[in-house]
Structure 1
Amino acid sequence: MSQLPTLTVRKALFAFALSCILVMCLVALAFAHLRGDRFTDSAFDHAARFRTTAAAEDLARTLERDWQDLAFLTGRVAGLDPEQLTYLMTGASGDGRRISWVGYADLDGQVIAATNGLLVGQNVAERPWFRNGLSGGFAGDVHDAVLLAQLLEGEGAEPLRFLDLSKPVTDASGQPSGVIGMHINASWLAEHLRETSETFGIDLYLINPNGDISASSADEAPDTAELQVLRAAQIGAQSGGRETWPDGREYFSALVPQVTYGDLPDFGWRMVGRLDADYLDVGLDLIRSEALYALLIAVFLIGLLTVLVARAVRTPFAELAASAQRIADGSQEYPPSFRTTREAALLSAALARLQQDRITDER
């Protein structure tokens, strides 16, 4: 009898399974090497942009509600005397921690009514909120307190600073009759950014039209000349991506070129958000570990399926081969009948017919 091939059905099935596993691993490794960094950078860049945009809209929505309150006050001036107007403005200021002052000044700039009577009788004609408020809605960037510095106390050693909202008051003929201004505490703005930063997991910076940082959620304030995203903020251009900041660490940065919502006037702000790339790399390592575990599980399942298929396919052919060998040696046995596969069923039936014919011929 000639020498039989060494390759068996079982070996062939296992070789096929191992080849599939090898190809799967090589494709996964090639994809991770060629596209992994680009994919993760794109995903984290999108996350930085999405969170920064959401933070900017959240801030603008909050300030837009103050603008609506201011619009409501401008419509009540004509129907109230100064005492009643003072009472209304004091109520609009709440506890004073966020809105420090609301006041109404006539066309000459003299304050007629204000929160708790502060600055009543004084002239504010030279203040930007009054001058700009006469010509339309005005939103002013963070600035040091001037007239209110001696009347209100700041928090700790920090100087008192405000951002302004103002709107003209018109008479029945539609002509300006004065301006209502609102001073919002800048410490509230910084605290709001810190809280939003914790909520969205991103550092936030408000950049004014001059390129200076008006408020931020972080302690350090990098020079806008040091970073591409901050330089882009000065001109309002879109920018972002991975960048090394002055602290030597890499961040994914994003820029929102305008912080406004609804009817809120434009403060001229741009918002910059940054995500810590080192922190994201930790998350990426976890993702890679989970991907490795998933790959190992897939290999185990493929191996298990291969064993089951090999048993289901090999066993009938192995037993039929052994039975055929015995029949060829003169045995009178009939081969076992298998119906696990079409081929096994046909082979067992053919061997049975051959054995039947042989036994009949011998008789």
Structure 2
Amino acid sequence: MRYEKADTLLKLALDMQASRQGLSLGDIQERFEVGRRTAMRLRDAIVRVFPQTDELLCDDRKKRWRIPNGTLDRIINFEADELADLETAVQVLKRENMDEQVASLEGITAKLQAIMDPNVARRVEPDLEALLEAEGLAMRPGPRPKIRTSVVSQLRQAIKANAVVMLHYKNRKNGKVNERTVHPYGFLHGHRNYLVGYHVHPKANSYVLFSLPNIEDVEIQTDFYERDPKFSLQAFAEQSFGVYQEEPFEVEWLFNAEIADVAEEFEFHPSQKSTRNSDGSLTVEFIAGGELEMAWHLYCWGTNVEVVKPEGLKKLVSDTQKSWQGVI
């Protein structure tokens, strides 16, 4: 128990040094999942151990506490699993074609390893290799779309500057490249990778998805746009089961008792409602678009799932299940 308390205090001290604005009592409660009295005791312990802790009064009228930079630098070290988590993140980002983020994380990893004590680094290295081998991410094969690094780089720059862009966008059907004036808002990554942007066009003027592999080139314009404060990338994404956007509809799936325990471990959609039925089966309900992507996912569950709603998805999945039964 004493070691756990010491570990908590050290984590809190590191957080207080890392935070520019410092931490309030509310921040401590949230980060360590404790009540207000415990948060106060933790804060008091930090102030006793580190008397140089600054007490700040911010614009929100809340008191915050911060440990000056450099105070804890000599006692900071990194464990093998922490470095392995960073490398795992790098491999996942590589699979998603997020090359700029890959370069950034690899730079952070190199900096961390450079400031590590050489003796600690030698001790950690064998554990790090074992953990990375266990993850197996680097060796997992699978298709991924080809995305131009320069395109993503230009788009990220435009997003940060709120700059209007001209996309040279290839039509998937006829191969013709058209120019599209767009206010870029962000990216959605999944089975396919998309730019979310406001398409400025007399017949459009709406938020749409642009497939990143289909963007041949990006020209950043001299004009700037004002972001719509009501637009939420998260809310936009949650309209769909995957990334493809269509009008949301009521969805209801029934997983049989044989697979219900496994299905209950999944979050299929942030808005889902799950109900365990008397026969052991599981009903999952939510509202979203993306019928085709739902069908792709449901194929993974084979004949253990029945689509109750909507009718179109029910027919799509049911027909495929019948063809499987015929083969078996």
TM range (shorter): under 0.3
More strand by share: 2
Q: Which has the higher contact order (CA 8 A, sep 6+)?
A: 1
More helix by share: 1
Q: TM-score, normalized by length of structure 1?
A: 0.21
Q: TM-score, normalized by length of structure 2?
A: 0.22
